[in-house]
Amino acid sequence: MEIDFLVKYPEADISNRVILAAIEVHRHLGPGLLESAYSACLCREMESLEINFDREKALPVVYKGLDLNCGYRMDLVVEDRLVLELKCVDRILPIHEAQLLTYLKLSGLKAGLILNFNCKLMKEGIKRMVA
């Protein structure tokens, strides 16, 4: 069953590894820090796990065939397959979900995670999304 799931959703394996890394960061830091601190620590954790990623990856808007740099940046893109949107908020709101879905649409990637580090348990701050 697991093999079939991974064939159908190849992003699942990498997202599970990223979630484990996020849990490790949260376990050490807890809630209450700035997003930038969690980002730096998550990047360090993913490096130690040999997970490839791009940080603050520019995302142009294509308008009538032209790439327009409108200042959009994805927090992290993992293995060129998974978009990570990091948050430190009371709770994940529909606007956060809309932001990730927009990034997926503009990038052409299929899967993403919202990781909200401002929660008691990291598992409460994880939202998986697919386009």
Convert the pLDDT of each residue in 18-30 to its tens digit: 999 999 999 999 9
Q: Which residues of the chain have pLDDT under 70?
A: 1-11
- The predicted pLDDT at position 50 comes to 95
CA distance 41 to 19: 13
Sign of CA dihedral 50, 16, 111, 43: negative
- The predicted pLDDT at position 1 comes to 41
Q: Where are the beta strands (DSSP E) in 28-92?
A: 53-58, 61-63, 66-68, 73-78, 82-87
Question: What is the model's pTM?
Answer: 0.88
> What is the chain's mean pLDDT, rounded?
91
Tokens of 43: 């990047």
